[in-house]
Homo-oligomer: A and B are copies of this chain.
Amino acid sequence: MTDISQSISVVNIGLESFYTELAEQNVPAVQVDWRPPAGGDVGLIDKLARLQCPEVEAANAQTLSRLMNSRPLWVDVLPAIDAIPGMEHNNLLHSGPPIAFGDMCDPQQRAVEAAAIFEGWVSDRAGLVAKLNSGDIRLRPNYAFGSVGAMCGIISPSMQVIVTNNATYGNRSWSTFNEGKGNVIWMGTYNEGTIERLRWMRDVLAPGLRAALRTRDEGIDIFKIIAEGTSMGDEVHARSAACTLLLLRQLTPMLLAADIKRRVVAQIIEFLGQNNHSFLSLTLTACKAAADAAHGIPHSTVVTAMSRNGVNFALRVGGIADEWFIAPTAPMDEAIYYSGYGPTDAAGDIGDSAIVETAGLGGMIIGAAPSISSFVGGSMQHSRQAMAAMRSICAGANPAFAPGAVDFTPAPVGIDIRKVVRLGLTPIIDTGVLHKASGVGQIGTGIARAPMAAFTKALAGMPLPR
């Protein structure tokens, strides 16, 4: 019974080649994927040990509570300049951390150019550069204002924005409406039709939706729609098809009740209905309003914002009020590319939309969207594993978003920088991929990894409770 030739089995911890060799010889073996914590960095390990304390746990619990108790409502539509406190008449807001025009990735430069043309400030690139140099036009990051933009994320003063109010905590967030597919500035590509569409959105779409919203006292409950949509195939970052339909069900009676021409009602419904990303802008504002409400609790190690501009990635931690931690974006080598394109064609990871993962949606609940299981391996089993991995770096789980397709597993929520650094595992972010130079716009879709350097910087920056 104890003959070693028959009963040996091995648990191998760490270096995988030991396991592989045993497995090749048909010796029963289990590989434990162990790595030294924090990559073996003694300073970080010491910091991690010191942050393992009740003050941090309590702060994180409060951060989670604020994230999960937030109730963001879409309440109004206003010109950006009227809606966003602090925005000035010559500001062009963009996604990600602050960046000079010359340092921006090509698609974001194109989007800035289109917005300046839309505003009537310039007619071409040369004019734009001159006005940027003279200070007549000023680039500012959305994150300085509490606004959010998908992909290139440009908000110019006369663009109309969704106004979302966090009914629980009273704070607000803003974003533009989604333009859809094709030549669209959120994807960093434009032509004359693009500018024309932006004008229609400003002059027809926005006033119509404003009038519709004003037909009732309370706004549209965004998280309530998301709760339903996450059991209808949406993880609400790469896919918002169900949420867009659920939104239309609420909006249509409101549009019909408002004083809007019937032809315009039809146009608005058509515009929103034919674009499965229509709901995405609402998700962004809701997640931002929730994350902002959760920000600023001393000692919290939970991430309260992630944002990228195609060059750099930035994150903010709940316990550090006024600082963003910035690192170069990770390569886009895990995305799925359209035919003829590959990682070498890609601009860096871009958009304020990583606020979705910050709030425990998107990549955190990738199993909600079976249609994108290909992002993480191709089967629901892969999606479940990805969610389990995300759960291992999060402070908690949110039963409000519990996708049926993964047996109602609650959404991992509250990325804890301690866990990220200890496990050497950063969040996945569902995203589109833009061409780095050609102006063709989107060339792929998939996941991006948040860069570890931003998390180790944030961890190093955490003050010690005692």
Contacts and interface: CB of A to CB of B under 8 A. Distances in A.
Interface string A404-415: 111110000000
B253 A266 contact: yes
Interface string A430-450: 000000000000000000000
A252 interface: yes
A130 interface: no
A269 B256 contact: yes
Interface string A370-393: 110100000110000000000000
A312 interface: no
A245 interface: yes
A231 to B, nearest CB: 6
Nearest to A248: B249
A59 interface: no
Contacts of A245: 242, 245-246, 248-249
Chain A, interface SS category: helix
A241 B256 CA distance: 22
A262 interface: yes
A370 B231 CA distance: 8
Contact of A380 (B6, B242, B257, B407): B407
A306 to B, nearest CB: 27
A269 B273 CA distance: 15
Contacts of A407: 370, 373, 379-380
A249 B232 contact: no
B253 A269 contact: yes
A302 interface: no
A326 interface: no
Contacts of A48: none
Contacts of A369: 404
Given A231-B370, A233-B242, A245-B248, 5 more contacts: A233-B404, A242-B245, A245-B246, A253-B266, A370-B408
Nearest to A228: B241
Contacts of A232: 232-233, 241-242
Contacts of A6: 1, 6
Nearest to A234: B232
A41 B121 CA distance: 87
Task: Count identical subunits in the complex.
Answer: 2
A218 interface: no
Contacts of A406: 380
Contacts of A256: 262, 265-266, 269
Nearest to A403: B370
A356 B256 CA distance: 35
Nearest to A254: B266
Please provide the 5 A-B residue pairs with the shortest distance between their CB atoms, ordered closest to farther. A370-B404, A245-B245, A405-B405, A256-B266, A232-B232
Contacts of A265: 256
Contacts of A333: none
A323 interface: no
A100 to B, nearest CB: 43
B249 A370 contact: no
22 contacts: A6-B6, A231-B233, A232-B232, A232-B241, A242-B245, A245-B245, A245-B246, A245-B248, A245-B249, A248-B249, A248-B252, A249-B273, A253-B269, A256-B265, A256-B269, A262-B262, A370-B403, A370-B405, A373-B404, A380-B380, A380-B406, A405-B405
A270 B246 contact: no
Nearest to A231: B233
Interface in A334-390: 369-371, 373, 379-380
Contacts of A248: 245, 248-249, 252
Contacts of A1: 6
Contacts of A273: 249, 252-253
Interface string A79-99: 000000000000000000000
A445 to B, nearest CB: 16
Interface string A213-248: 000000000000000000111000000011001101
A266 B405 CA distance: 33
B269 A371 contact: no
